[in-house]
Amino acid sequence: FRFKESLAEDLGKADLVISHAGAGSCLEILEKGKPLIVVINEKLMNNHQLELAKRLHRGGHALWCNCSTLVETLQSMDLSTLKPFLPGQPEKFALFLDKVFGFQ
């Protein structure tokens, strides 16, 4: 499909998601607990997608490749090595800021 209002239903059914390296897309997929292969576009804005993909990979949360290495990645992947992505806890940061600025 070219465009869809929401991918939530599709993500719920997926066993594996192959996505571009947009931060919103990656976080949505990982928060749903789905294995993720991030395919970077090396031509975009100083290759910022590579930074995100490498960071997620270093944390053990995703695999990454580029378009030319996707088939190789699919053939050699071991999804059992991926770790769950734990969502942030913004309420703790808010409490910290409240304390620092004396709002408590």
Give the whole-angstrom CA distance, residue 16 versus residue 38.
11
CATH 3.40.50.880 correct for 7-101: no
Which pTM does this prediction carry?
0.80
Average pLDDT over residues 66-92: 91
Average pLDDT over residues 32-39: 96
Average the pLDDT over each of 9-13, 22-26, 43-47 and give the range with the smallest value: 43-47
User: What confidence score (pLDDT) does residue 58 get?
Assistant: 94
Average the pLDDT over each of 6-15, 58-67, 83-92 and give the range with the smallest value: 83-92
- State CA 17 to chain mean position distance: 10
